[in-house]
Structure 1
């Protein structure tokens, strides 16, 4: 595996490592399958279990997912989506296949209901995107003048009013509002880049 990029946050790093492992698996690296399993099995097992309603059946479906992955890793296209999304579709399809073939004991949902089973947790992609947005906002705030950074962080992250900020910093209210307004304008430009 290549050296991790020190500028990546944990979510970005996990996504990059998973993409790298998928590429390695596609070129026949058996060790990559273990890394992928470690990174994804809990999420994929949850998908299978929700659809099948039986732990044993979910484990069997999960095994099918990784056998299929080994055989079809070359089909993964990183331009079309994240590895976890692709694997989640794989898991759902394997679980639904087991339902259709009648291999499932009682406790499973009907095949028609499987697509609509809600997962109350945010999707892995949503978590990663939220993390990316947060990292981008913090990066852009870091490009502002120190007094603008301080004013924006204190006002928006701590809930301090402009009047309270102006009093704490010993500046007129209009000056504080101006710092924040100019800082927000620069922040917006940075986020749009």
Structure 2
């Protein structure tokens, strides 16, 4: 199980680098489970199939947000599928005019403990980014925080596209090592 978990984590990391083959392998390895999650929540096969496609689009776009520590990779994938399915359910429900229902709504803001953990994680990520060479750290921020494409970053830093891919891949490996210390 641990081997499968690390394999899935590796596929997510490679997907974050826009490796299409890794993304296809991730889909083959996890789509049945994630379809089960969407189907269980939505209770409609065609809607669950459509939701599953949207879930994998989100995974492709947000694979760089998976944090190796804390959650298993399959738990992260299931959370993406679950949250997307719940968003679909919420969109179905008509707005209520009853003020009483407003009191039943959960506060989406993180509780103080979660906020403190997030701040600690952010500080750790910032510290690990500071260990990278300045241009590498700028490239990582540009790709994963600002949404620049590899091509845009390569032009911006005046390096070939493959060099930029190598910078980002190696920088993510260094960040992973730093975050797991």
Question: What is the TM-score when the length of structure 1 is the normalising length?
Answer: 0.47
Q: Which has the larger radius of gyration?
A: 1
